[in-house]
Structure 1
């Protein structure tokens, strides 16, 4: 490689953070914020160490996905397909069902804070408009413009949540004590959910696609990728810690219970208004909207890239074909699937069978990702050169991720199936 090429492939330092912030912001949605707030409201700072553990685990998995893409020059789906047809048989129904249900969930979540600020608006129609806005931004925009929008949304949500947490004047001594591992009685399910909820599920696997869209596509970008990933999840971890602080300071001390689902975030904004004034109520709801909208457009981009690559592989298209990239025909096909069919779920009762399939298939994705990365990054093949394969530490941490997410999956499957088969 020539000196000129080396210089061209070395991005300016101020551009080091990019796809990592996108994947981290996409993964932290309203559901994660509610789970963290509930943990804080029930156990104070006792489970703070779990937030740190969850952040480390996501760093490990995203680094693994990025390392595989850069070292092999292949997408994660190409790697999965090389492991046998069973990966396709799992991924095909998963990405179709997941997209249909998640589309409705993301649109509703993005609409809720808007309706809380403007009560005269109809939630369903605001949700529809939110989905269309996401479609337009991703359909007509380049990856560079998409990344700029994501960074702006991260800035809004970060300022809103960190500012609100700082306003509560948190107890620093309790925060430090919360870093000591402890498992309060009855907290095991909250512990598992909190560790698993710091920053994404299927979007973790989209990281390699965003690296490609960014232009980081060779092993020379390995160090840049690791910095990008680490900084992004440090920001996300701090964001989630601040959410736990809000739960501990606003709700735990006052023994205030949250409403179910995303509406719990509206409860927090109401408590902020009561204690600190209307400005904090408004700013927090704007941050809530930014968190939800960043998840929406992040999925509209990242999972559409995964779907396009999936179909392109099955059709035998060459790697990186235009149809499979941002703005390509297959990419836009999944964008339409994420946006318009899910609007039916906003107007109708959610069908039980579909929700059951969504819950079961979705719960299996994280252990699927952890186990397949373990295989792909240890396999002695031409895919990944020896210097980029897993070492003992990566294997240990990925193994821990696989075990934790398998436990989460087992609990989720049990929860989903129990009402219908009379088990547990």
Structure 2
């Protein structure tokens, strides 16, 4: 660790890129592309707002971990046992449903490139590859692989955006906050979807894995976080440009979910040639696979810490750490039981529970960070300043609105 601490700070960028890469998956690309196809550049400002919100949330999680030496779950637990009753069922249900969705997404991308195996077969192979990569808990290897995937997805999307010859004056008008009629939910979806949900809370665990565990790393943590979301912002803006220039101008519609990425690859292929379609599908695979691998590692760390903590195990108990029993159990949980869903379809009530609990996570994180970071749970030097509190309140309000819409949509569809 001493060698690592002696490195110049610009060579230490890593955990932020990991959390950003994990958080930007095919669903986020589709939400942004669809927003571009419907409204052109009108929602560009909301992409930037989303990046700022995520920077604030991730910085808060990182600041708490560095200032106290505690994990984010230990911070939540200090607010009362109600946090256990929310987080426990959530992480179990979320893992099962997300595992299936992640494998289906990577499977679809690989099937589109190499159709000699089925989507399910490619998905299963992706899940197994992800499990094998993170099983030992070696963070250095994990970070290098994620960095490579970020480079792939970044290059492919930026090339696609550049090929569309974007209208710069139109882009500039999109920087002015404006909500077109009927676009409020699209605004919230784009802003809320830039860069992750539960994986934001994994940032503190990746800081620990990197060896950044004390307040002396506060400045480098903030630099790391800022650079990561600047890269994410450019990437997501590029997806909106593709939607605006390629789809909005031509009145082309694409499918929902992961299939929309395949549809978009087809449009790119028709316009610029098969090579562009293949290149884009490689980027789609990299976005899907980076999310899969990031969750297999980061959320497994969170589960291990949660289960060890509620059992009263010490902070540094091996079971609460990377490579421990609970960590490996959750990797297994993410990989094998969800394979059933690839063949048997999506159980309605499980999907409903996943949606309901998941929609509540971002408000939960924003509100609890406001609570934790303004009290004596954090040394006075590292508590929130006025600007951070204002931004966290705005984050909480935005995510509460999005959660209410999500709950209404899912529950009304049930009856």
TM-score normalised by structure 1 residue count: 0.96
Q: Which residue of 1 aligns with 2:171?
A: 175
Unaligned runs of 5+ residues in structure 2 are none
Do structure 1's residue 281 and structure 2's residue 273 form an aligned pair? no
Q: Which residue of 1 aligns with 2:410?
A: 416
Question: 399, 402, 407: which one pairs with 1:405?
Answer: 399
Residue 374 of structure 1 deviates from its aligned partner by 0.3
Residue 10 of structure 1 deviates from its aligned partner by 4.3
- Paired with 1:308 and 1:377, the residues of 2 have a C-alpha distance of 24
Q: Which residue of 1 aligns with 2:329?
A: 333
Q: Is this contact kept in 2: 1:9–1:220, CA < 8 A?
A: no
Question: 119, 123, 129: which one pairs with 1:127?
Answer: 123
Residue 325 of structure 1 deviates from its aligned partner by 1.8
Structure 1 stretches of at least 4 aligned residues deviating more than 3 Å after TM superposition:
7-11
Cα gap change, 1:252/1:149 in structure 2, threshold over 3 Å: closer, same or farther?
same
- Paired with 2:85 and 2:237, the residues of 1 have a C-alpha distance of 38
Q: Which residue of 1 aligns with 2:308?
A: 312
TM-score normalised by structure 2 residue count: 0.98
Residue 119 of structure 1 deviates from its aligned partner by 2.5
Residue 8 of structure 1 deviates from its aligned partner by 6.5
Q: Is this contact kept in 2: 1:359–1:412, CA < 8 A?
A: yes
Do structure 1's residue 57 and structure 2's residue 71 form an aligned pair? no
Residue 320 of structure 1 deviates from its aligned partner by 2.6
Do structure 1's residue 93 and structure 2's residue 93 form an aligned pair? no
- Paired with 1:332 and 1:117, the residues of 2 have a C-alpha distance of 31
Question: 336, 340, 344: which one pairs with 2:340?
Answer: 344
Q: Is this contact kept in 2: 1:94–1:358, CA < 8 A?
A: yes
Residue 188 of structure 1 deviates from its aligned partner by 0.8
Q: Is this contact kept in 2: 1:16–1:227, CA < 8 A?
A: no
- Paired with 1:349 and 1:154, the residues of 2 have a C-alpha distance of 31
Q: Which residue of 2 aligns with 1:258?
A: 254
Q: Which residue of 2 aligns with 1:47?
A: 43
CA deviation profile, 1:199-242 (whole Å, cap 9, x unmatched): 00000000000000000000000000000000000000100000
- Paired with 1:8 and 1:276, the residues of 2 have a C-alpha distance of 45
- Larger mean Cα displacement after TM superposition, 286-295 or 119-128: 119-128
- Paired with 2:295 and 2:413, the residues of 1 have a C-alpha distance of 30
- Paired with 2:248 and 2:295, the residues of 1 have a C-alpha distance of 33
Q: Is this contact kept in 2: 1:10–1:221, CA < 8 A?
A: no
- Paired with 2:17 and 2:51, the residues of 1 have a C-alpha distance of 13
Q: Is this contact kept in 2: 1:363–1:413, CA < 8 A?
A: yes
- Paired with 2:387 and 2:9, the residues of 1 have a C-alpha distance of 28
- Paired with 2:170 and 2:321, the residues of 1 have a C-alpha distance of 48
Q: Which residue of 1 aligns with 2:387?
A: 393
Q: Which residue of 2 aligns with 1:241?
A: 237
Q: Is this contact kept in 1: 2:137–2:297, CA < 8 A?
A: no
CA deviation profile, 1:223-278 (whole Å, cap 9, x unmatched): 00000000000000100000000000110000000112111111111111111111
CA deviation profile, 1:37-73 (whole Å, cap 9, x unmatched): 0000000001000000000000000000000000011
Over aligned residues, Cα RMSD in angstroms? Answer: 1.2
Residue 13 of structure 1 deviates from its aligned partner by 3.0
Do structure 1's residue 147 and structure 2's residue 134 form an aligned pair? no
Residue 117 of structure 1 deviates from its aligned partner by 1.4
Q: Which residue of 2 aligns with 1:295?
A: 291
Q: Which residue of 1 aligns with 2:99?
A: 103
Residues paired across the two proteins, number:
415
- Paired with 2:136 and 2:202, the residues of 1 have a C-alpha distance of 20
- Paired with 1:238 and 1:260, the residues of 2 have a C-alpha distance of 23
Q: Is this contact kept in 1: 2:9–2:220, CA < 8 A?
A: no
Do structure 1's residue 224 and structure 2's residue 220 form an aligned pair? yes
- Larger mean Cα displacement after TM superposition, 264-273 or 88-97: 264-273
Unaligned runs of 5+ residues in structure 1 are none
Q: Which residue of 1 aligns with 2:200?
A: 204
Do structure 1's residue 69 and structure 2's residue 54 form an aligned pair? no
Cα gap change, 1:118/1:87 in structure 2, threshold over 3 Å: closer, same or farther?
same
